[in-house]
Amino acid sequence: MRAFRNLFTVIAIGGLAMTGLTGCDDLAGKKEYLVTANKPNSVHLIDAETGQVVNSFPIPGDGAPGTLSVSPDGDVAYVITNHMETISGINLDTGEQVFRADASYDNVRVKHMFAMAVSRDGEEIFSFQTPVRILPGEYQVMDTQIAVYKTDAGIDAKPVRVFPAPRQISVLAPSTDGKLIYGLGPSVFAFDAKTGEIVSAHPLREWGRPNYGVPDILAAWPHYEVANVLTAPYFVPRTDKAPDAPDAFKTGLLTIDLKTGEVTTEDFENTSHLIFSSVLNPVNRNEAYGVYTKLTKIDRVANVVSNRIDMEHTYYAINVSHDGKTIYMGGTMEDVVAHNAETLERTWAVKLPGGGDQGLSSLRVVRR
């Protein structure tokens, strides 16, 4: 288990550098697209049916691009960039930068630290921030916070409100009614979207499951927009098993229903493979998928792996089509691929312009 935890720590330190789309019913009948970003600093719009890159645009300033969110109408991609100090909004038809929020000011360096989400109505952006005051002989660590920006604020956007938030939140996701913002960290926090009050906190690190240790959760991909359920894999030691027992470590799936607020944790296998990100089938919620070096299909009724195939290299990010028939994977390198959700067979693959890797960029699904 320590090996998993050390790997995740290395990834985070190395530049985990998460976000809000909506699965609005009024977008039914629109064409489906994927949105991703790659190094040095570009954003791409991909036809989800054919894999053709429709548009590619540079993001002004330094990279590397990280967490990516898209407006509900699918017109603007908001990307954390500039060494995690800026959110840049790029029009996906024209390439114009229509929004920019530079978080740092004076002698305070502020990072948009992974977690970023667009509100359900598309009017606001929520960003989890870690400010540090830089003094002549000292770095003064300040309290973490969630800053809220108006999406129509242009290219010199400033927060319209800021509220305190616990440390180590790595994903933000709005409830379907827009009243709450869920933050995934040591607990699943539900914030009032207007006041910032913590309405509820579902413990994860201190979950208190009998015969279980502390779960290790790598959550950096906010791919909830299709099923309106945020998921993440977890890895956890059993405290009632010998360290060398086959079932000494378990892999499971955390789910957060963004409509009801229900949080579930279900083991589905003895830990044998890493999974970086996961997604729920929007049509058959008894199916989930995860990816890293292998693409895994999970039966959530029997809580078992129902299918698993090797991938030719690691993929960090996974998402799913609105009809639940296609799985999309990206992140890591310069390619995006699509697989049949039933058979797991590949249907298309595309390399992104410029050849730069996507790293930990999000892979979002939109209808426009």
The C-alpha atoms of residue 23 and residue 27 are separated, in whole angstroms, by 8
pLDDT digits (tens, 9 = 90+) for 187-239: 999 999 999 999 999 999 999 999 999 999 989 999 999 999 999 999 999 99
pLDDT digits (tens, 9 = 90+) for 307-352: 999 999 999 999 999 999 999 999 999 999 999 999 999 999 999 9
What burial class does residue 302 get, using C-beta atoms within 10 Å of its C-beta: 0-12 exposed, 13-18 middle, 19+ buried? Answer: exposed
The pLDDT assigned to 215 comes to: 98
Positive or negative: CA dihedral 73, 75, 81, 85? negative
Q: For residue 202, give both structure tokens.
A: 């579902």
Domains of the chain: 2-353 (2.130.10.10)
The CA R_g of the chain, rounded to the nearest whole Å, is: 19
**Token pair 């730069």 in the structure block, residue:** 356
Q: CA angle, 315 as apex, 311 and 316 as ends, to 5°?
A: 150
**Token pair 């699918």 in the structure block, residue:** 74
pLDDT digits (tens, 9 = 90+) for 23-79: 444 555 689 999 999 999 999 999 999 999 999 999 999 999 999 999 999 999 999
pLDDT digits (tens, 9 = 90+) for 242-271: 999 999 999 999 999 999 999 999 999 999
The C-alpha atoms of residue 48 and residue 157 are separated, in whole angstroms, by 32
